[in-house]
Amino acid sequence: MTSHILDKPPQGAAEDWTVPQHWSRYTADDHAIWDMLFARQLALLPGRASQSYLRGLDLLRLSKPGIPDFTELSDRLMATTGWQVVAVPGLVPDAVFFDHLAHRRFVAGNFIRTRAQLDYLQEPDVFHDIFGHVPMLADPVFADYLQAYGKGGLRSLEYGALGRLARLYWYTVEFGLVQEEGALRIYGSGIVSSHGETRFALDDPSPNRIGFDLMRVMRTRYRIDDYQQSYFVIPDFATLLRATEETDFAPLYAEMAHLPDIRPDEIVAGDRVLSRGTQAHALSRA
């Protein structure tokens, strides 16, 4: 999610670390890469992505094709749920990231991947940040969840519990699954923006799919180098919002300090297992 690369804004960035998107500097090829990735995911997502996500996608259909202009996108998002999109130079400090979320500002990188990186890249680019995250921000309940998460993030710093809370973000905002009309649907940005993981998360026998439980998730380590070994399933977004916003995390942080971490592939007592994975994918890569 975030890490400390610098401790003050780099040259050209504002006090809050934002930079101009410089939309006019994108090349025709940059826009063509966006359009290609967009079309490729669009062909895959109906029936696989949550209705909330699919409804929000309309927001990205702006007056011109290619990489969205953040100003135009922010105007539309602001009119929908009061969120904005702001550009930042790559990773920003945790407190800066949380503060933006707490003020309903989503931070996005402004560079786009190259043609050699269509399927995989380490750092989130504008396709991941915008295509992956922004449609969910058009959902009023999810929009409130992400703001509450930002406030909770600032609070977690006071308890030295950033790592715990980062796991919640990872297994919901980035890689979450939701139950809809009796089936599983994807809503996590890391899945919906990935051609390979869109299918893997729903259809592959390899990963575990486990009912969401707050403490369980915050105890679970995650992988950043491959598809997830476990996905957590929420019943709906209102339940996620209630379970997090109405819970004081301070006693949970205190309790977790005495509990061991859970491995990314592990099933533990008390899990509501929707499907137990074979882990064949991870084993084949080990």
* Closest C-alpha to 223, from 208, 233, 212: 208
Q: Distance between CA atoms of 114 and 33, rounded to whole angstroms?
A: 8
Span from 54-62, 108-116, 243-251, 271-279 in contact with ligand PHE (CB under 6 A): 243-251
Q: Distance between CA atoms of 41 and 195, rounded to whole angstroms?
A: 6
Q: State in angstroms the smallest separation of the CB of 98 from ligand PHE.
A: 10
Candidate list 17, 142, 171, 249; residue touching ligand PHE; CB under 6 A: 249
Candidate list 18, 41, 84, 189; residue touching Fe ion; CB under 5 A: 189
Candidate list 127, 142, 149, 227; residue touching ligand PHE; CB under 6 A: 149
Long-range pairs for 108-112: beta carbons < 8 A, 24 or more residues apart? 108/70, 108/133, 110/19, 110/21, 110/22, 110/70, 112/26, 112/30, 112/33, 112/34, 112/67
Q: Which of the residues 201 through 240 are near Fe ion (CB under 5 A)?
A: none
230 burial level (CB within 10 Å; 0-12, 13-18, 19+): buried
**Is 50 among the residues that bind Fe ion (CB under 5 A)?**
no
Q: Which does 245 bind (CB under 5 to 8 A by kind): Fe ion, ligand PHE, none?
A: ligand PHE
Radius of gyration of the chain (CA): 18
> CB neighbours of 123 closer than 8 A, spacing ≥ 6?
90, 91, 109
Nearest-5° Cα angle at 91, 262 to 119: 75
The nearer residue to ligand PHE, 118 or 148, going by C-beta atoms, is 148
Q: State in angstroms the smallest separation of the CB of 217 from ligand PHE.
A: 11
* Closest C-alpha to 72, from 17, 130, 139, 111: 130
* Binding string, residues 185-224; x marks residues near ligand PHE by CB under 6 A: ----------------------------------------
Q: State in angstroms the smallest separation of the CB of 57 from Fe ion.
A: 16
The nearer residue to ligand PHE, 152 or 207, going by C-beta atoms, is 152
**Is 245 among the residues that bind ligand PHE (CB under 6 A)?**
yes
207 burial level (CB within 10 Å; 0-12, 13-18, 19+): buried
**Is 155 among the residues that bind ligand PHE (CB under 6 A)?**
yes
Q: Distance between CA atoms of 264 and 75, rounded to whole angstroms?
A: 39
The nearer residue to ligand PHE, 30 or 245, going by C-beta atoms, is 245
The nearer residue to ligand PHE, 77 or 168, going by C-beta atoms, is 168
Q: State in angstroms the smallest separation of the CB of 186 from Fe ion.
A: 14
Candidate list 44, 148, 256, 268; residue touching ligand PHE; CB under 6 A: 148
Q: Which of the residues 32 through 71 are near ligand PHE (CB under 6 A)?
A: none
Can you give the binding site for ligand PHE, defined by CB under 6 A? 148-149, 152, 155, 168, 244-245, 247-249
Can you give the binding site for Fe ion, defined by CB under 5 A? 189
